Amino acid sequence: MSIWSRVANVFRGGRTGREIDEEFAAHIQEAIDAGRDPEEARRAFGSLLRQRESSLDIRVLGWLDSLRADVVFGWRLLWNAKATSAVSILSLGLAIGSCMSAFRIIDALLLRPLPIRQPERLYAIFRKGIGPDGKPRTTPSSEYPLYRQMRAAVENQADLIAISYAARRDLTYSSDEETEKAYIQYVSGSMFDRFGVRPALGRVLTENDDRKPGAHPVAVLSYDYWARRFGKDPNMLRRRFRMVAVEYEVIGVADRTFTGTEPGTITEIFLPTMMNEAVNQPNSAWFRTFVQLKPGVSATQVRDGLSPVFHAYQEEMAKGFKGWPKERLQQLLSNQLVVEPAAAGVSGLQKEYGVALAALGVLVTLILLIACANLANLMMAQASARAREMALRVAIGAGRWRLIQLMLAESGLIAFSGAALGVVFAWWSAPLVVSMINPSDHPMRLVLPADLRVLGFAAALAVGVTILFGLGPAVRASAVKPVSALKGGSGPRSRRRTMHVLIAAQVAFCFLVLFDTGLFTATFDRLSNQPTGFAADGVINVITGARPPQSKLLWQQVAQQLRSLPRVEAVALAGFPPLSGSMEGGFVAVNGGQPAGALVRFSSVSPSWFDTMKIPMVSGRDFGESDASPGVAIVNQSFANAYFNGESPIGRSFETNRDHGMRCRIVGLVRDSCYEDVRGPIPPVVYLPFRSVDANGQIRTTGGAAFVLRISGSNPLALAPALRREITRAGPGFLVSRIVRQTELVEQQTIRERLLAMLASFFAIVALLLAGIGLYGVLDYSLLQRRRELGIRIAIGAPARDIVRRATVDGLAMVLAGAVIGLALALFSMRYIESLVYEVKATDPASLIFPALILFAATLLASVPAAIGAVRIDPVEMLRAE
């Protein structure tokens, strides 16, 4: 109680003191009333002032009171220098805000433990090795029959939980005409119980829902989905939706905090793994395996238990792999199982954006350091202006700690104002950045809570920043020697030296930011101007499903009907559009030899697809109406180079392990075009006719394909409603899932690069601005310090050139030194951001000259005022003033 009232008294202003005075006055009055002589009563009371002080000491918390006084004093100083303070707080707010924004996203995507019971015990299984394309690969995918064996193998050490990739699927709550999309995840029935996730409504899945394939078509919604899609409808239970051919019943809504195990995606519907059609397929890897360790068991123990099962399974499977090159099979078998912590969940976005976000985190930290260096210099300059005030304080008995506290109070005011501003900035900017990671079919949705974790980070940042820019100048200012300071001659030289070192550091950081920004923008530029091999403008893909699967003949008839629509120049069919994320692979053998080479890409396309995409034929012919697979194939140049040494492949044949081994005769050769990625060399691709027949000569059916249309004029998407109508009318069971421009698919290849380039450019401008302001400030301060010296030089006839040189040369030398250090840092940073850049080298002259030039220009601009100021010194006036 005592401490609180003493704390409270600190903030009661002068009231406490006044009350004491009043009490004393009342006392004396009582004495007089009691008949004592007024003079005598007052004298008996003693010194009012001293009594009040001793009472005040008792009633007020001393150190807090002095801190309050310091804060109030600091606030007055800041208020008096409004412009400087505003710039300081704004720049610090921007820097802290950027840091917090980066922290919020990094935390939400990579660090924050899932809101489940004991997340630290959650691990995930990965396979590490060489992928079928010959590149190193780590994948969490697993097959269900293997999962069953693994679960049994470690039964006593850990619980295994299967959770499929969150996938956006078409489903409907009413009729097929009103399909909508939702993120679904197939999960083990035991998951909710193991994770300690309770239902918000109804019940959650249990192990009983997950015992027999296809037996329990039940679904649990996520809270977010329930709230957004259904407005928290309390009558949600027992509602039904249909996905593919199965009708599911909603049995409950999961707890509000649980949004799945894939940060970056909010799962909307949870289904039992037994409802997945691939649950008994030995070769289909469609989910991640999570491991919940039992108490006292280590991840290594579990891995040792799982590995033999895994390797045995792999070898069993490999026996069935026909037509695989030996070395690929060998690589597959040498895959290792690893068990890694997964407290923060596992998602593809973590992998894709982890390094990029870390790079951004470093950039914003550099910005913060630059801002701190600026403030430290400002504090130091102000401290020198206040040297006399400090000396006076020391002279009347202020201790050293008291002076440091005085200075730190001011720094803390700036830092906490900046942090408050930063919180607001991060509040706004973090969701904005997340919304920029927006592939149209899979926009990132990240839970960004503003909780104690985030606010704690802000507070820690503010305290850290205060110490970073405030402590040095405070300690230095507190070391003032009253005698020399009051005499007016203290040595500002060492102070200037520190300032110059800070300038060099700023320039180095700034160079690094500029350099990395240059690399990111160049990467984005290269990638977005990468030739794709086709003309994407005007092409739209209508990704369509058919339930039940329809004959490919019927698909082709629907395509014919679309041709009659206005503005449609060409129509074709493809299994899937290029750059849509889908891939089909297989191995190829030529000349009756062994299968060899890397994974070959396959694509099934109808006649005139190449025309529609404007992929030029090099030689041979396009597919005709009568062509069907198996039998003929068209290959790209990369294929011809890899398998026929660049000779014409027309008329030659090859075998592939696809479709249980088939032989194809090559009828055409086309130019290379992008398949699944715009980066890197274009892989060998085999195009097969869209129409295919089975062993009995029957035309096959398919449940999904893409109509590819070339539309004349602008805004091809205006045709979308007509296309939907036409396709739905054309045949029963045809359903348009998604209409997407080919240009959009191309642009989505570079979302990460665009994000990096944009944010880095923004930070580069901020860094340049801050460093420029910093340099200007220091030069200006040096000029102020050296006015007397320069005035005398002018008076004795030094030429203007000499004066300008003297006023700026120290600063410029620091810039140069900083740039050299920055260059070293930049080359060093290269090794960490290598995975983020494409066809850009750190040693490219352009990568180095560009930031150097910008920095040089900024330096010139910042030193002009100091140079002009130096030349304009009027020696007469200056010397008289001294």
Structure tokens at 441: 């079919």
- In the bound complex, what is the minimum distance in angstroms from residue 418's beta carbon to another protein? 37
Angle (deg, nearest 10), helices 787-795 and 800-833 = 140
| From 46-54, 230-238, 737-745, 807-815, span contacting another protein (CB under 8 A) | 46-54
Nearer to another protein (CB atom), residue 3 or residue 452: 3
Neighbours of 755 (CB within 10 A): 20
Per-residue x/- mask for another protein, residues 140 to 159, rule CB under 8 A? --------------------
Neighbours of 488 (CB within 10 A): 10
Site stretch for another protein (CB under 8 A), options 1-9, 190-198, 211-219, 385-393 = 1-9
β-sheet bridge partners, residue 143: 285
Given 29, 208, 298, 330, the residue binding another protein (CB under 8 A): 29
Closest CB to another protein among residues 42, 614: 42
CB atoms within 10 A of CB 374: 26
**In the complex, what is the shortest distance from the CB of residue 405 to another protein, in angstroms, rounded to a whole number?**
24
The type of residue at 214 is G
49 counts as binding another protein under rule CB under 8 A: no
Contact 328, 129 (CB under 8 A): no
- Residue 38 binding another protein, by CB under 8 A: no
**Are residues 376 and 472 in contact, defined by beta-carbon separation less than 8 angstroms?**
yes
Asked if 21 touches another protein (CB under 8 A), the answer is no
Query: 3-state SS of 109-176?
Result: HHHCCCCCCCHHHEEEEEEEEECCCCCEEEECEEEHHHHHHHHHHCCCCEEEEEEECCEEEEEECCCH
| Token pair in block for residue 626 | 């009568």
Q: Which stretch binds another protein (CB under 8 A): 53-61, 227-235, 276-284, 498-506?
A: 53-61
Phi, psi of 62 (to 5 degrees): -55, -55
Residue of 26, 86, 765, 857 that binds another protein (CB under 8 A): 26
Q: How far is the CB of 21 from another protein (least distance, A)?
A: 11
Which residue, 747, 780, 740, is CA-closest to 868?
780
Q: C-beta of 33: minimal distance to another protein in Å?
A: 8
- Residue 284 in the binding site for another protein (CB under 8 A): no
Beta carbon of residue 66, minimum distance to another protein (angstroms, whole number): 18
Stretch that binds another protein, among 55-63, 311-319, 328-336, 451-459 (CB under 8 A): 55-63
CB of 506 vs another protein, minimal distance in Å: 50
Q: Give me the least distance between CB of 18 and another protein, in Å please.
A: 12
Query: Looking at 16-24, 90-98, 585-593, 833-841, which segment touches another protein (CB under 8 A)?
Result: 16-24
Per DSSP bridges, beta strands 136-139 and 122-130 are antiparallel
Residue 24 C-beta: closest distance to another protein, Å: 7
34: contact with another protein by CB under 8 A: yes
Residue type, 530: Q
With CB under 8 A as the contact rule, the residue among 10, 20, 154, 504 that binds another protein is 20
- Residue closest to 445 by CA, chosen among 609, 725, 228: 228
- Compare residues 56 and 821 and give the one whose CB is closer to another protein: 56
CA–CA distance, 160 with 140 (Å, rounded to integer): 13
- Select from 12, 21, 55, 820 the one that contacts another protein (CB under 8 A): 55
Structure token pair of residue 691? 């129409």
**Helix H or strand E segment including 286:** strand 285-293
Name which of 56 and 565 has its Cβ closer to another protein: 56
Give the Cα separation of 206 and 251 in Å (integer).
11
Of positions 17, 21, 45, 561, contacts another protein by CB under 8 A: 45
- Name 448's Cβ contacts closer than 8 Å, sequence gap at least 6: 104, 105, 108, 430, 431, 434
Q: Does 8 bind another protein (CB under 8 A)?
A: no
Q: Considering the complex, what minimum distance in angstroms separates the CB of residue 48 from another protein?
A: 10
Q: Is 738 in the site for another protein (CB under 8 A)?
A: no
The one among 7, 11, 13, 30 contacting another protein by CB under 8 A = 30
Q: ∠ CA(145), CA(151), CA(156), 5° rounding? A: 160
Task: By CB under 8 A, tell whether 5 contacts another protein.
Answer: yes
**Nearest to another protein of 64, 735 (CB atom):** 64
**54 lies in the binding site for another protein (CB under 8 A):** yes
**Side-chain-side CA neighbours of residue 763 (13 Å):** 38
Token pair 């045995």 is at which residue? 312
Site pattern 58..77 for another protein (x: CB under 8 A): xx------------------
DSSP β-ladder status, 199-202 and 246-254: antiparallel
Nearer to another protein, 27 or 872 (CB): 27
Nearer to another protein, 27 or 400 (CB): 27
Name which position in 17, 19, 525, 551 contacts another protein (CB under 8 A).
19
- Please select the residue that binds another protein; options are 11, 13, 18, 22, rule is CB under 8 A: 22
Task: Work out how close the CB of 65 gets to another protein at its nearest, in angstroms, rounded to a whole number.
Answer: 14
Classified as helix, coil or strand, 561 is: helix
Residues 175-194 interacting with another protein (rule: CB under 8 A) = none
Residues 378 and 521: beta-carbon distance below 8 Å: no
Q: Going by C-beta distance under 8 Å and a sequence separation of 6 or more, which residues neighbour residue 35? A: none
Closest CA to 493 of 781, 134, 877, 685: 781
Q: Looking at 49-57, 229-237, 443-451, 720-728, which segment touches another protein (CB under 8 A)?
A: 49-57
Q: Which of 7, 11, 18, 23 binds another protein (CB under 8 A)?
A: 23
Number of Cβ within a 10 Å radius of residue 396? 7
Contact residue for another protein among 15, 27, 497, 841 (CB under 8 A): 27
Q: How far is the CB of 67 from another protein (least distance, A)?
A: 19
Contact between residue 666 and residue 620 where contact means Cβ atoms under 8 Å apart: yes
Tell me the C-alpha distance between 115 and 451, whole Å: 13
Residue 29 CB, nearest approach to another protein (Å): 6
Is residue 6 within the footprint of another protein (CB under 8 A)?
A: yes
Least separation, in Å, of the C-beta of 32 and another protein?
A: 10
- CA angle in degrees (0–180, nearest 5) for 412-418-419: 90
Total chain residues near another protein (CB under 8 A): 24
Output DSSP code: residue 113: P
Rounded least distance, CB 1 to another protein, Å: 5
In the complex with another protein, which residue's Cβ is closer, 21 or 193? 21
CB 103 to another protein: min, Å? 42
Determine the distance from the C-alpha atom of residue 602 to the mean position of all C-alpha atoms in its chain, rounded to a whole number.
33
Q: Is 701 in the site for another protein (CB under 8 A)?
A: no
User: Would you list the DSSP string of 580-634?
Assistant: SS---EEEEEETT---EEEEEEEEEE-TTHHHHHTPPEEEE----TT--BTTEEE
Paired sense of beta strands 632-636 and 662-670, if any? parallel
**Cross-strand pairs, 167:** 184
- Interface residues toward another protein, by CB under 8 A: 1-2, 5-6, 19-20, 22-24, 26-27, 29-31, 33-34, 44-46, 51, 54-55, 58-59
